[in-house]
Amino acid sequence: MTIRPILIHPDPRLKKLCAPVAGVDKDIAKLADDMLATMYDAPGVGLAAPQVGVLTRLFVMDCVKDKSAAPQPMVLINPEITWTSEETNVYEEGCLSIPEQYADVTRPKEVRMRWTGLDGQSHEEQFDGLWATCAQHELDHLDGKLFIDYLGPLKRQMITRKMEKLKREMARG
């Protein structure tokens, strides 16, 4: 497995609509393996393919909070939402592509998703808690949407300017 660099906002690749995965093959399996390694290394609880520069509809997540519990890595290929709860909740979200910036985002409290697994089979599951928030956050990435897109224009612009400054400093080394 390879830890891949994570793109930092603003980057046009983070705003693109990702293409469906045509077939589950060894390249997709390698991408998923690298994304899980990159996610755990960050650390994070989710990661979408466009965040490592691959504009395809795949994300990984593992929202197990108890570090003494066994990890529960999930790979969701061509995921789609099949149901959302009326009830919403607010979570202070972050993003590995927008480091050290956090803001409250309101999303449906529970969500059902259908996807293709690495086994090539169709799966469907209902998520709640952090799993629900993370799954919706990652699916947004596949549609070129970032959590800052739910904020007002001034707050979004302030965060973008901070990231532009960070990228200039990173470029200077």
Active-site choice (87, 124, 138, 169): 138
> Does residue 50 interact with ligand K2U by CB under 6 A?
no
* Nearer Cβ to Zn ion (8/95): 95
Q: Beta strands of 37-157 (E only): which ranges?
A: 46-48, 58-61, 74-84, 88-93, 103-108, 111-116, 122-127
> Does residue 136 interact with ligand K2U by CB under 6 A?
no
Binding part of the chain for ligand K2U, among 28-36, 91-99, 111-119, 120-128 by CB under 6 A, reads 91-99
d(CA 120, CA 107): 29
Kind and range of the H or E run holding 116? strand 111-116
* Nearer Cβ to ligand K2U (24/98): 98
Binding part of the chain for ligand K2U, among 25-33, 38-46, 80-88, 158-166 by CB under 6 A, reads 38-46
CA angle 9-47-136, nearest 5°?
A: 90
Report the residue from 62, 138, 139, 159 that binds ligand K2U according to the rule CB under 6 A: 138
User: How many other CB atoms are found less than 10 A from the CB of residue 64?
Assistant: 15
> Does residue 75 interact with ligand K2U by CB under 6 A?
no
138 is catalytic: yes
d(CA 70, CA 72): 6
Q: Which of 58, 62, 65 is nearest to 74 (CA)?
A: 62
**Exposed / middle / buried, residue 145 (Cβ in 10 Å: 0-12, 13-18, 19+):** middle
Report the residue from 8, 9, 32, 44 that binds ligand K2U according to the rule CB under 6 A: 44
Report the residue from 8, 14, 31, 45 that binds ligand K2U according to the rule CB under 6 A: 45
Binding part of the chain for ligand K2U, among 17-25, 67-75, 81-89, 137-145 by CB under 6 A, reads 137-145
Answer positive or negative: Cα dihedral of 40, 43, 49, 52: negative
- Count residues binding ligand K2U (CB under 6 A): 17
Cis ω before 5 (30° cut-off from 0)? no
Applying CB under 6 A, the residues found at the interface with ligand K2U are 44-48, 91, 93-97, 130, 133-134, 137-138, 141
Annotated catalytic residues are 138
